[in-house]
């Protein structure tokens, strides 16, 4: 009985560590919004469509320096089966004039995309930040969502 109780307690601790460990991996998070500036859909033939877009973007965070405004550009590649792959790059500037660029994407069928900081000035210089993003609401012109990651 004592062995079974210890085993159960150990299993509970292990599951708790896994759940908390995933949550603790993010040390920065926030919100984003994008407003479409332009988009062009190109029929590539045989049911393949490439949509190229540009948007004004905002990012906010209460626990990192990632609060700023800027531009994003990217693509959505849709295949004949209706699945879409997204790729993008953004540059945003904060209130002090420091800027950061990030790139990322989302695989077909995924709920979350990924982002990686690719450069920056001032407080963003030399950083290796990366993480995830997830859209929450979109009307085809404006979209909003949340993001998180490891900002060091």
Query: How many CB atoms sit inside 10 A of residue 64's CB?
Result: 19
Q: Which fold has domain 26-150?
A: AOC barrel-like (2.40.480)
Q: What is the pLDDT of residue 120?
A: 98
Residue 5 has pLDDT above 90, yes or no: no
pLDDT tens figures, 128-139? 999 999 999 999
Domains in the chain: boundaries: 26-150
CA–CA separation, 132 and 114 (whole Å): 4
Query: How many CB atoms sit inside 10 A of residue 53's CB?
Result: 18
pLDDT tens figures, 38-82? 999 999 999 999 999 999 999 999 999 999 999 999 999 999 999
- What length does the chain have? 152
pLDDT tens figures, 73-122? 999 999 999 999 999 999 999 999 999 999 999 999 999 999 999 999 99
Q: Mind giving me the DSSP string for 18-38?
A: HHHHHHHT--EEEEEEEEEEE
CA distances from 145 to 12, 74, 107, 122 (A): 33, 17, 17, 26
């Amino acid at each position: 009985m004592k062995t079974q109780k210890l085993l159960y307690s150990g299993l509970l601790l292990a599951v708790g560590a896994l759940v908390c460990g995933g949550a603790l991996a993010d040390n920065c998070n926030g919100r984003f919004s994008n407003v479409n500036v332009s988009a062009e859909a190109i029929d590539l033939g045989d049911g393949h469509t490439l949509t190229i877009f540009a948007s004004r973007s905002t990012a906010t965070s209460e626990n990192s320096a990632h609060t700023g405004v800027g531009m994003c550009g990217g693509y959505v590649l849709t295949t004949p089966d209706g699945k879409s792959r997204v790729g993008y790059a953004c540059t945003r500037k904060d209130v002090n004039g420091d800027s950061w660029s990030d790139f990322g994407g989302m695989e077909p069928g995924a709920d979350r995309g990924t982002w990686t900081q690719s450069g920056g000035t001032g407080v963003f210089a030399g950083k290796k930040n990366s993480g995830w993003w997830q859209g929450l609401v979109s009307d085809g012109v404006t979209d909003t969502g949340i993001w998180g990651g490891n900002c060091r």
